Amino acid sequence: MSKPQKSGSILIVDDHYDILVAAKLFLKRYFAHIETSTDPERIPSILAQHTFDVVVLDMNFTKDISSGKEGFDWLQRIKNLDATLPVVMMTAYGDIQLAIKAMKMGATDFVLKPWDNEAFLKTLRDAIQKEKNELSETTTNNYQQKFPTIIGESEPMLAVFNVVDKIAATDANVLVLGENGTGKELIAKAIHEHSNRSSGPFVSVDLGSISASLFESELFGHKKGAFTDAREDRVGRFELAQGGTLFLDEIGNLSPHLQSKLLTALQSRKIVRVGSTKEIPIDIRLICATNMSLPDMISKKEFRQDLLYRINTIEIDLPPLRERKGDIVLLADHYLKQYSEKYQKKLEGFHKNAYLELKAYNWPGNIRELQHTIERAVIMSTMPMLSTDDFQLKRQASDAETLDDSWDTSTLHEIEKQHIKKVMTTHDGNISLAAEQLGITRASLYRRLKKYGL
């Protein structure tokens, strides 16, 4: 017979030493850590030093042997210290009225002395699970109300919500990491909307779409006549974001030269418009995002380490959709409703097999791919419910299958050029999806596209 698996931590407080010995002797087979005390006055210090999953508290101590008053007092004090900590009351008198009163005051359950071992263990396990369920439900509902634009109730997303909730009110710089399509800008907007700068502007900049020649003009602004076509003064993104939040997406695409210019502005908290010598103080909260591994880029001398230190006071790592599959049904239902209304289609929902198909797929394009999949299915569907036939979730052909036999294979460069061209065509020019299929970074793909003139 296998030994029961130990997990969890329990505190037992009773003024009878033999009760503690008996309880610990039985429960140590099931709990990883058991703390006991005959003195309730030690409860605050014990709770300050350790984290427990449940407290077993005697209802009657020697000061007040039968009324339960002292037990009620300590129950209240425990709840004041940690409102979420489950407390199971224990009494030798079997007074159901005392037990009911204790539960009204916040106790999770009660046991009678002498106890039945199996019933005692079940009571403790049920108390722990009940508190976990209630805490999870409360947390999820709170986050859904606080962040209505972000859909998710899976454990990975609750962890993200927890960080966002803690840091939003601060002015700390934030770096949001995650694959393309995971919702990095939504997270940035949520941080802004719950910050002290929420009444100020939220300015988003896609650094991957700004050419090196226009970088300074776009971010810092320019004076009239600073260069050809500069026909009037222009305010840059830093100035537009004054008093608010500046979101720099795809920061990993910046060249080392432009990284240096950005770092100078962030360190001095001042910018100078192109064609001017006047310094302009900036008051912004900075949030950056990337799908690249900045530490890897630093090791290859493609990204400045001092800039990374500057932008990632707080780091949020968004999970890909394949790691939060518990949210797929929620997201699918959301987009079905959204696009049914948009295209005026009367759709009732998904067949069960359609949900299974969506959850089984790996979603390399993450939420964005799911969104486009549901939109297309809504447009093309002729039935009241969506089924697996309405989705096009086919795996990409292998690299070997995508090679055209007519290619000139005399040089490796030509093979690479034609292969990249074919993959880019397959993904309609989507750099992120093409880079993922090729197994290289976006920056590497950009360099190859430039190299081959594609």
63-72 average pLDDT score = 66
Does the structure show a pLDDT above 50 at 96? yes
Residue 150, judged by CB atoms within 10 A of its CB (0-12, 13-18, 19+), counts as middle
Residue 107 and residue 77 in contact, taking contact as beta carbons nearer than 8 Å:
no
The upper half-sphere exposure of residue 9, i.e. CA atoms within 13 Å in the direction of its Cβ, equals 10
Residue 225 and residue 268 in contact, taking contact as beta carbons nearer than 8 Å:
no
> CB count, 10 Å around CB of 215?
19
Question: Of 77-91, 102-116, 168-182, where does the model show the most confidence?
Answer: 168-182
Residue 407: pLDDT band by 50, 70, 90 thresholds? Answer: very low
How far from the centroid of its chain's Cα atoms is residue 352's Cα?
27
Angle between helices 17-27 and 117-146 (to 10 degrees): 80
Does the structure show a pLDDT above 50 at 406? no
User: What gap in Å lies between CA 27 and CA 295, rounded to an integer?
Assistant: 47
Residue 46 and residue 36 in contact, taking contact as beta carbons nearer than 8 Å:
no
Determine the structural domain holding residue 431 and report its residue range. 399-452
422-451 average pLDDT score = 72
User: What gap in Å lies between CA 393 and CA 301, rounded to an integer?
Assistant: 38
- In a shared domain, residues 216 and 130: no
Residue 402: pLDDT band by 50, 70, 90 thresholds? Answer: very low
Residue 426 and residue 419 in contact, taking contact as beta carbons nearer than 8 Å:
no
Residues 118-149: pLDDT tens digits? 999 999 999 988 877 776 666 677 888 888 99
- Per the domain annotation, does 143 fall within a domain? no
- In a shared domain, residues 263 and 172: yes
- Per the domain annotation, does 269 fall within a domain? yes
Does the structure show a pLDDT above 60 at 399? no
- Per the domain annotation, does 147 fall within a domain? no
- Stated as kind and residue range, the H or E segment containing 349 is strand 349-350
* Sign of the C-alpha dihedral computed for residues 252, 256, 262 and 267 taken in this order: positive
- In a shared domain, residues 103 and 223: no
Q: What CATH number should be reported for the domain holding residue 200?
A: 3.40.50.300
Helix (H, G, I), strand (E, B) or coil at 171: coil
pLDDT at 397: 36
Q: Give the whole-number percent of the chain exceeding pLDDT 70.
A: 88
- Per the domain annotation, does 412 fall within a domain? yes
- Stated as kind and residue range, the H or E segment containing 139 is helix 117-146
Residue 283: pLDDT band by 50, 70, 90 thresholds? Answer: very high
- Per the domain annotation, does 260 fall within a domain? yes
Going by C-alpha positions, the residue among 99, 107, 127, 247 that lies closest to residue 175 is 247
Does the structure show a pLDDT above 70 at 23? yes
pLDDT at 118: 93
pLDDT at 400: 35
Weakest mean pLDDT among 154-163, 174-183, 264-273, 425-434: 425-434
162-187 average pLDDT score = 94
- Per the domain annotation, does 1 fall within a domain? no
Residue 60 and residue 91 in contact, taking contact as beta carbons nearer than 8 Å:
yes
* Sign of the C-alpha dihedral computed for residues 195, 197, 200 and 205 taken in this order: negative
User: What gap in Å lies between CA 189 and CA 186, rounded to an integer?
Assistant: 5
From residue 264, give the alpha-carbon distance in Å to each of 218, 257, 290. Answer: 16, 11, 20
209-220 average pLDDT score = 90
- In a shared domain, residues 74 and 13: yes
DSSP states along 411-437? -HHHHHHHHHHHHHHHTTT-HHHHHHH
- In a shared domain, residues 189 and 117: no
From residue 392, give the alpha-carbon distance in Å to each of 275, 345, 370, 377, 397. Answer: 52, 20, 11, 9, 14
pLDDT at 170: 93
- In a shared domain, residues 18 and 129: yes
Does the structure show a pLDDT above 90 at 374? yes
What is the chain's Cα-based Rg? 30
66-85 average pLDDT score = 82
Domain boundary among 72, 101, 136: 136
Domain boundary among 136, 170, 191: 136
User: What gap in Å lies between CA 236 and CA 223, rounded to an integer?
Assistant: 10
- Per the domain annotation, does 274 fall within a domain? yes
Number of domains in the chain: 4
The CA angle 354-356-357, to the nearest 5 degrees, is: 65
User: What gap in Å lies between CA 4 and CA 125, rounded to an integer?
Assistant: 13
Residue 432 and residue 180 in contact, taking contact as beta carbons nearer than 8 Å:
yes
- Per the domain annotation, does 2 fall within a domain? no
pLDDT at 2: 56
Residue 395: pLDDT band by 50, 70, 90 thresholds? Answer: very low
pLDDT at 67: 57
Please provide the size of the chain in residues. Answer: 454
**Residue that has been written with the tokens 């071992």 in this structure:** 117
Domain boundary among 103, 136, 169: 136
431-445 average pLDDT score = 71
160-170 average pLDDT score = 92
Give me 282's structure tokens. 């900036």
- In a shared domain, residues 328 and 259: no
Question: Of 120-124, 141-145, 221-225, 397-401, where does the model show the most confidence?
Answer: 120-124
Q: What CATH number should be reported for the domain holding residue 369?
A: 1.10.8.60
Does the structure show a pLDDT above 70 at 428? no
pLDDT at 62: 61
Does the structure show a pLDDT above 60 at 258? yes
pLDDT at 403: 36
User: What gap in Å lies between CA 154 and CA 327, rounded to an integer?
Assistant: 6
Does the structure show a pLDDT above 70 at 420? yes
Does the structure show a pLDDT above 80 at 425? no
